[in-house]
Amino acid sequence: KNEVEQSPQNLTAQEGEFITINCSYSVGISALHWLQQHPGGGIVSLFMLSSGKKKHGRLIATINIQEKHSSLHITASHPRDSAVYICAYISNFGNEKLTFGTGTRLTIIP
Amino acid sequence: SQTIHQWPATLVQPVGSPLSLECTVEGTSNPNLYWYRQAAGRGLQLLFYSVGIGQISSEVPQNLSASRPQDRQFILSSKKLLLSDSGFYLCAWSKGFNQPQHFGDGTRLSIL
């Protein structure tokens, strides 16, 4: 069982729709990252958060530490948002490595 | 501003051949450096990280090794590649642990 579960694995939506991608984990963490991987493979860090909510443009990330759950939301989705979205955490066990989910493949249809 | 360069972008190598992938960071000093691999259809896996020159921590035992000969240079090597070494290799840097990580464009390695 993966230590990080993302849902859905694949998501296809129409342009303009509100998108939600979920991430659940099972250990205590010190921080959680949301990453975006484009078709060519390049990865961009979107958010790093340890509590509450962060917003950047049309992207919003939330985290509930008690429930061990984070969500990434995209408002007014656009075809250029099509990518794989990956969540990853740093545990608070003293090992600083990132543990990654397998990603959610998002496709936005014009 | 900080930039990270990784090369080559793609590489095709025969089984048993050596490997050297290089990553350099500009615009920052004493970064944490990371090598990740993404096998086909799987998530990212941390291979090595470094907090300083000559300091390498290995996360996964395998036939790969890493070196950090200079502050902003991180090299991934192998003496003899295996078929299972195929994948997408990403270098990343951060200002420290619990800081955002910034990724290079990756190297797609195919072993024949």
Q: Which two tokens stand for residue A70?
A: 């984070």
Tell me whether A49 touches chain B (CB under 8 Å): no
pLDDT at A103 > cutoff 60: yes
Helix (H) or strand (E) holding A44: strand A43-49
For B84-104, write each residue's pLDDT tens digit: 999 999 999 999 877 888 999
Flag the least confident range among A50-64, B21-35, B58-72: B58-72
Tell me how many degrees the CA angle A105-A20-A82 measures, rounded to the nearest 5: 35
Which pLDDT score is estimated for A94? Answer: 58
Give the torsion through C-alpha atoms of B99, A91, A64, A75, to 10 deg: 50
pLDDT at B60 > cutoff 70: yes
The set of residues, in sequence order, having a beta carbon less than 8 Å from that of A73 and lying 6+ positions away, is: A18, A19, A20, A21, A59, A60, A61, A62
Per-residue pLDDT, averaged over A56-67, amounts to 96
Share of chain A above pLDDT 70, in %: 95
Instruction: Give the whole-angstrom CA distance, residue B83 versus residue A16.
Output: 43
Say yes or no for a CB contact (<8 Å) between B97 and A86: no
Are B107 and B11 a contacting pair, CB within 8 Å?
yes
Which pLDDT score is estimated for A96? Answer: 66
Among B49, B59, B106, the residue with its CB nearest the CB of A41 is B106
Tell me whether A2 touches chain B (CB under 8 Å): yes
Burial class (CB in 10 A: 0-12, 13-18, 19+), A60: middle
Per-residue pLDDT, averaged over B26-44, amounts to 90
Which pLDDT score is estimated for B2? Answer: 84
Tell me whether A33 touches chain B (CB under 8 Å): yes
Name the nearest CA neighbour of B78 among B70, B87, A89, A45. B87
Which pLDDT score is estimated for B23? Answer: 97
The set of residues, in sequence order, having a beta carbon less than 8 Å from that of A54 and lying 6+ positions away, is: A47, A60, A61
Which pLDDT score is estimated for B61? Answer: 66
Instruction: Give the whole-angstrom CA distance, residue B99 versus residue A85.
Output: 19
- Alpha-helical (H) ranges within B1-112 are none
pLDDT band, very low/low/confident/very high, at A76 (cuts 50, 70, 90): very high
